[in-house]
Amino acid sequence: MSKYGKIMILVIALAIAAGIIAWKIPFTRGLDIAGGIRVVLQVDPQRPSDWPTKVDEQMSKMDTIRRTIQKRVMGFQGRNGAKSCHPGY
**Domain extent listing, the chain:** 3-77
Q: Work out the average pLDDT over 69-81.
A: 65
Give pLDDT, residue 32. Answer: 66
Give pLDDT, residue 14. Answer: 96
Q: From residue 14, how far is each of 18, 23, 25 by CA, in Å? A: 6, 14, 16
Asked if pLDDT for residue 75 goes beyond 70, the answer is no
pLDDT in tens, 8-56: 999 999 999 999 988 888 777 766 666 767 777 777 777 777 788 888 9
